[in-house]
Amino acid sequence: MTLRDWVTGAVITGLALVPLVVSLTDNAFFLDLATRFVILAIAAISLNLILGYGRMISFGHAAYIGIGAYAVGIPAYYEIYNGYLHILIATSVSAMFALVTGVVCLRTRGVNFIMITMAFGQMVFFAFVSIEEYGGDDGLVIETRSEFGSLINLENATVLYYVCFVSLLAVLYLVHRIVRSRFGMVIQGTRGNEPRMQSLGFDTFRYKLACYVIAGTICGYAGALLGNFTNIIRPEMLDWTRSGELSFLVVLGGAGCIFGPVLGAS
């Protein structure tokens, strides 16, 4: 085993044991801290998919966190607490937004791409600020978390943590399979030399768009988890500075490394 494997195993084992340690120390603060860390790690992994492997520097990625969070908050405002519906709305709306904006953004390069992704993100940010029905700038309070029947009770902090932890493992596995697949190889090849990949017959635009949509969908799911965790959703979740923080986590942990964002978030 390599050093990377040992570090990965140690971090995952440590995360799995967090609730046990918290129960022994009787300090719920550490469980809340670990839950937030796991959720941010999921969001950072999604950004790493386009930033680390596709070299698409997006400053509008936090918009998907906000979309996912409001996908929980708005139905809850109307007393709709079905968790499966919340996740469906969060992922589908995030995917649709990524598809529509990606078609425009991916026709640009470099600084232009950065600025236009930030513009779309800020557009969503100011849209939610202006909607007074859902709290405007003050935010929207979630009085009841998503319900999944008697099987999963998110009102229990330990259950919520393990839902987030299992989600992290699932996302890590999904991204690992994507990166190691033919699709992932094309994305990485496009990062290195897009004209050459095009000359080999690959429609790089479609590959990048698909990658962009997948990343947005995963981040939207992370937003749904964050909305349940915080119990209050504010437009600041969508601000471009949040995207900058996610980018910092990716770079700090190692862009282009599957487990890097998890280390960066820690």
Say whether 162 sits in a helix, a strand or coil: helix
CA distance 53 to 80: 38
Residue 227 token pair = 């909305």
Specify the pLDDT at position 1: 62
Q: Torsion over CA of 30, 167, 68 and 243, rounded to 10 degrees?
A: 70
In the numeric block, the tokens 């003050």 are attached to 138
Angle (deg, nearest 10), helices 3-16 and 18-25: 50
Number of other CB atoms surrounding residue 185 within 10 Å: 13
Cβ atoms 66, 124 nearer than 8 A: yes
- Return averaged pLDDT per consecutive 10 residues of the chain, 266 residues in all: 72 83 80 91 94 89 94 92 94 96 91 93 92 86 86 89 94 94 92 88 92 96 94 88 89 82 78
Specify the pLDDT at position 192: 85
Specify the pLDDT at position 3: 67
Q: What angle do CA 234, 236, 241 make, to 5 degrees?
A: 160
Specify the pLDDT at position 153: 87
Q: Write down the domain spans for the chain.
A: 35-265
Residue 237 gets which letter from DSSP? Answer: G
Specify the pLDDT at position 222: 96
Q: Which pTM does this prediction carry?
A: 0.93
